[in-house]
Amino acid sequence: MYLALMNQDLIAKVASLEENGGLLPSAAKNMKTWLEGGFLSETSLSSLGELLDAGNADELNNRFYREIAFGTGGMRGRTIGLTATSLEKGDMDTSGSPANPGVGSNMLNEYTVVRATLGLFAYAKAYHDREGIATPPKFVIAHDVRHFSRFFCELAASVWAKKGGEAFIYEGPRSTPQLSFSVRHLGATCGVVITASHNPPHDNGFKAYFSDGGQMVPPNDTGVIDQVNATPFVGLQDYIGIDLSKVTVLGAELDEAYAQCVANCVIDQDVFKKTDLRAVFTPIHGTGAVATLPALKKLGLDPLVVPEQFEFDSNFPTVKSPNPENSEALAMATKLAEENDCDLLMATDPDADRMGVAVKGADGKMVLLTGNQIGSIMAEYRISKLKEMSWIPEEGGQNCALVKTFVTSPLQDAIATNHGIKVVNTLTGFKWIGEKLRIYQDEACEKSGLSDYDSLSLKERADLLQKYSTFYVFGGEESYGYLPNDTVRDKDANAACALFCEIAASLKAKGSSMLEYLDAIYLKNGYFLEGLGQLVYEGAAGAAKIARILETYRSTPPTEFLGSAVSKFTDFGVETVLDPDGKEIPKQDLYFVELESGYRYAVRGSGTEPKIKFYLFGKEGVSGADELGAIKSKTKASLDELKEAILADAGKRAES
């Protein structure tokens, strides 16, 4: 009765704030739905009362203007409000840890996690019924080090078990690629990682995978979305209490199996015996501490670690952002590497699916590489090494493929093409690369009659796939995500660290350096440079601006920049685009603009952050090493000027 009276009082306050205080109609509607649902705890009701009494319409609008989207990759958003209430904060100001997730339909909290898990279970159960699978749906959950990650992990496992499914969790934080591996290793129906990758500390996420170990793609993604959206709010309270009595906690054998999987990515493990590779590693307070380091040690490597960043910490206190592509996040590692005359440093983000690196320059200082440069180095080395070891023919072949995203450097297209290797471009998001791996595996198994693909060694897979389908030689994306082979079906920073160490050791043994190797790639393929421009628009008003930019690109595409006319405009949301395998690229609001100058750029809204991104690509021919320096400077100046013009144009479109 007491909670019912609280609900009625708060509903009246919502109506008043909507009428007089700037509460958006959509926010008011969602607040009423939540208050009338009867599932909110006293803590959540008190928090809403505090915000309503303060007349904080801006905070309530951000929390309730929409339902947090369960998109094709799951959910990601704030779990700590911009203005946290007293009960949500608890002693956060002194301890650094909030007491409760923020209440709101656009927040990641106990209610949205329960609803998402119920929807996922409903889809998994229906899938089992359709496929004639008699056993209960099997679900694996991993989590990173963020605020409430363990709570959300245990909550999801509890919900699954209460519904009659089998749920598996780890005893502590684990990396995203280990979840992908575990889904396949355990034969699970699906899996989830509780993570927001390298987002700010106030965010968290619910990232969903299916039985192949890859992020969900059609029809599974849309099927799960439909089930989540159809899950009623009424009754959520029945699942809020956590019961782990029927949940299985995975043991050390899964950690060992995954560490061996990472070590197996190095196909020339003898190279580490030929030289003394000196490296630094930092997990930036994340799961790389329990994922990357054990795998490197299994290979006989013992990198120096940054002690201040080795402990788990939800606030990532030593960096502005736990993003390994930012030089600021690598400052401590850089200092340690230069003090110890190291050859390279490696850093992983909180869930260890992205890797950033810096390498020693001629002056002994560390030089930060871009995600495109790292991927290009890996692609050239991997293809060359596979040829050297006779895994693939010297002339290449169209039954071997490098798989990358459209917005990743065309240098990698050139590298693969010059090696005689097929290039397959996908939409942004590693799930599309994972889908390709599943398609290649399924085709090979169907044609060969093989039923136990996962029992094959990497060499046996290479032979099978080249005979019956397509062998994946390497893949990645510009945003620091790479995957050396198909044992895991998502980007894997742990495996990327192992592979990059293999490359560094090989070059050092030959008396060469990583930067010399990169320049040799440019001399062979031409000089390529990439740039990224982005505009950040927070909240409800920001989402409208991002939508406006995307809408106007479709309705009134640009015609020229800096005196160079647009020679080609591709709208992936309208046009039919086929990949080299003849598969149609799914429709998406992605635009490619090519200029007569030979430069080009792509436009897309971020799927995980409140921003719109512009990916710029410059290319110049190189006739000799003596002109490479001048060409690098010229290309950078041209690309910077183009980026400024593109962002200025986008700003006008946002306000139009």
Q: What is the CATH classification number for the domain harbouring 647?
A: 3.30.310.50
> Can you give the residue range of the structural domain that contains 244?
106-250
Strand 344-348 versus strand 203-210 pairing type: unpaired
- 6 domain-assigned: no
Convert the pLDDT of each residue in 481-532 to its tens digit.
999 999 999 999 999 999 999 999 999 999 999 999 999 999 999 999 999 9
Are 511 and 562 in a shared domain? no
Q: What is the CATH number of the domain that holds 144?
A: 3.40.120.10
Q: State pTM to two decimals.
A: 0.93
The DSSP bridge pattern shows strands 611-620 and 527-536 to be antiparallel
Q: How far apart are CA 196 and CA 205, in angstroms?
A: 5
pLDDT digit string, tens, across residues 458-469: 999 999 999 999
Q: Indicate if 483 and 411 belong to the same structural domain.
A: yes
* Residue 120 domain flag: yes
Residue 97 lies in a domain: no
Q: Are residues 153 and 273 both part of a single domain?
A: no
Q: Which of 44, 105, 182, 197 is catalytic?
A: 197
The answer on 483 and 616 residing in a single domain is: no
Q: What spatial distance separates the first Cα and last Cα of the chain, rounded to whole Å?
A: 50
Question: Is residue 543 very low, low, confident or very high in pLDDT (cuts 50, 70, 90)?
Answer: confident
**Residue 416, phi-psi category: left (phi > 0), alpha (psi -120 to 50), beta (remainder):** alpha
Please answer whether residues 387 and 421 qualify as being in contact, where contact means their C-beta atoms are separated by less than 8 angstroms.
Answer: no
In this structure, the answer to whether residues 539 and 650 fall within a common structural domain is yes
| Whether the Cβ atoms of residue 310 and residue 289 lie closer than 8 Å to each other | yes
Is the residue at 481 inside a domain?
yes
Signed CA dihedral, 204, 210, 213, 219: sign only: negative
Do 362 and 408 reside in the same domain of the chain?
no
CB of 645 closer than 8 Å to CB of 562: yes
Contact 270, 509 (CB under 8 A): no
Q: Which amino acid is at 558?
A: P
Q: Which pLDDT does position 67 carry in this prediction?
A: 93
List the Cα angle 410/416/421 in 5-degree steps.
140
Instruction: Look at the chain and count its residues.
Output: 656
Residues 514 and 621 in one domain: no
H-helix segments, 205-328:
220-230, 252-263, 288-298
Strand partners, 617: 530, 600
Read off the pLDDT of each residue in 414-423 and give the average, rounded to a whole number.
Answer: 98
Q: What are the C-alpha distances in Å from 582 to residues 62, 327, 424?
A: 43, 40, 10
Residue 405 contacts residue 432 (beta carbons within 8 Å): yes
The pLDDT assigned to 3 comes to 60
- How many domains is the chain built from? 4
Distance from C-alpha of 469 to C-alpha of 483, rounded to nearest angstrom: 19
Question: Which residue among 201, 223, 250 closes a domain?
Answer: 250
Measure the CA–CA gap between 398 and 417, rounded to whole angstroms: 10
Please check the confidence at residue 208 and state whether its pLDDT lies above 70: yes
Query: Does residue 303 register a pLDDT over 60?
Result: yes
The Cα-based distances of 144 to 10, 148, 629 in angstroms read 35, 10, 42
Range of weakest confidence among 1-5, 293-297, 504-508, 517-521: 1-5
The pLDDT value given to residue 1: 47
For 340, phi then psi, to 5°, come to: -110, 15
- Do 465 and 539 lie in one domain? The reply is no
Strand partners, 140: 168, 191
Q: How far is CA 325 from CA 48, 80, 111, 349, in A?
A: 38, 25, 33, 9
Average pLDDT for residues 75-89, to the nearest whole number?
A: 96
In a domain, 116, yes or no: yes
Task: Please report whether residue 59 resides in a domain.
Answer: no
Considering the domain boundaries, does residue 229 fall inside one?
yes
Task: Assess whether 215 and 121 both reside in one domain.
Answer: yes
| Cross-sheet strand order for the sheet of 397-405 | 421-426, 397-405, 471-477, 481-483
Residue 182 buriedness (CB in 10 A; 0-12 / 13-18 / 19+): buried
In this structure, the answer to whether residues 576 and 646 fall within a common structural domain is: yes
Residue 173 CA to residue 350 CA, distance in Å, equals: 10
- What is the pairing mode between strands 190-194 and 203-210? antiparallel
Model confidence at 423, pLDDT cuts 50, 70, 90, reads: very high
Residues 6+ apart with CB under 8 A from 137: 121, 124, 125, 127, 128, 160, 165, 166, 189, 190
372, 398, 425 - which closes a domain: 372
242 and 157 share a domain? yes
Whether 216 is covered by a domain: the verdict is yes
Tell me: cis bond preceding 25? Omega within 30 of 0 counts. no
pLDDT per residue as tens digits for the range 567-600: 999 999 999 999 999 999 999 999 999 999 999 9
The verdict on 461 and 331 lying in the same domain is no
Among 372, 407, 439, give the residue marking a domain's end.
372
- Is 506 a residue of the active site? no
Check residue 325 and give its pLDDT. 92
Q: Rounded CA gap, 533 and 639, in Å?
A: 11
